[in-house]
Chain A
């Protein structure tokens, strides 16, 4: 790390940078982002959300590419934005490194010149700036590509160049926009391991945005869920996967999720139906249920020990790994994972009426978060 800091001439080694705090709104036309997120030094925060949730807006606001409407963005002692006090630091004045989706490498410059760009912007001559760049190229195993133009790089190489270019600017904060999205499946697997390692080496806070839950789970130490401009859930990957708080998260992590009112272990679901969940505390609750915990019957099962039994009708079937995920609609829509042989045996086709059962012990019930 010392090497990294001292390699930029003219800047003495600095103490590890401070934490990122964002508490701001950004309005763009009818869209409004209302974000309250932070990232500690060394922490990798993944902002996960569907397209149009405001992920890129958040990233752009932190980078200074989009001004905030209200609120503050602070990095350590550095106030980057403060709408009330009229403070706005221009992007070039922020110690923020950005790895863009599609990388945005300068097509007219070689890999080395791309990585040396930040040093050149600080007035460093071509020679010394090239040395700085070479150090980063070595670290990211890009030395062989130094004289190539971006058009001659593979996706994975381009991604490493983009990372090297951002890190070479010696930022206090690292931002990544969909870091793996532009890669094909094969490269995806290769790069994610490297990227994890490089992000772990970065001493400052790292924040990346993605719409891919796998990417978030692989890279992030903490996940922030952003939906329609609002943060709906934050937590460790484990917390997010086991206790989804919104239908979006539930769908992402492949869970059935129902909201309802619990009373004495029985949850009356919004929209009809009841589920028996003895653990549920009285009041508004969310109930999560893994699709693999459901059992499907062709006829009404009389001998089942399951406490929850209800009829439904199959509406869709889709392969999912070595299983088939079927969608069935009864009092509620439910996803259930079954084996291919079960589909054949029970002749499960769309339109067919079936019976579903779930053990009470497989239901995870937890209080519903306050709205807003």
Chain B
């Protein structure tokens, strides 16, 4: 998602230019607060009912043994205990991180190179953007089916290998084949999206920086890594954070890719494509262990929270001298520099 989270919730623009008008013109009395409060209320009501309540309720559920039909049975922390001992769960955690790493690192690198290339291009930029963004628009289910046929034993990928005299690869029947297939699908889907975001960041870099690099005799690669990457750091980190959040929730690829295998619940041979969310779905909605599914949801939340905090720390750590920690601070400074 193309947004940057601001932990303080206070944008720079507002601080620099306090909202005089609303203070001076607002009529007296508490009643004037009613319309804006009313205006923001739909989100909070919906969140209370469909966001906050389920989260709290899932805590309650995680202490129960319940198949959704019969009686609930209170089991205390047993679900969590089982979860910690569940080798499939930890396998799914490992898979998720492996797939996340295999997809995110090449994806961000390719996106950066692509943005750099697009930036140096004058003609057809609009057409390029559309072409590169389309993978992100299409249904993951449909495209997973297509990729599934490409990666099949007798599919296009192996036919291509055969044509150049190589042996076929067990794309969907070996540990790294499965992880690579899933990662390739994610890369294909997200390179263009991130490239366009990087491109926007690139275009915000003042041209003098490029000129200075050129005067110093830097070649293209040096320009990329000495000028572009440092300048784009906030945008890259933003992309890294969103890819992390998305990457830890991989589901569709693994489920649809191995749909013929017990209706997509296994994650393929050796469960090498089993992700955390796929396992949660399998336990909750295939085996109907609602308590177990709820406990797993909480563990997933804890993992994502830890990662988000690490991410924030990483950014703010190098940013303390500026007095405004956080990614948003970084981005805001850049925005201010651009005169926005």
A binds B: no
Give the interface of A toward B (CB within 8 A): none
Give the interface of B toward A (CB within 8 A): none
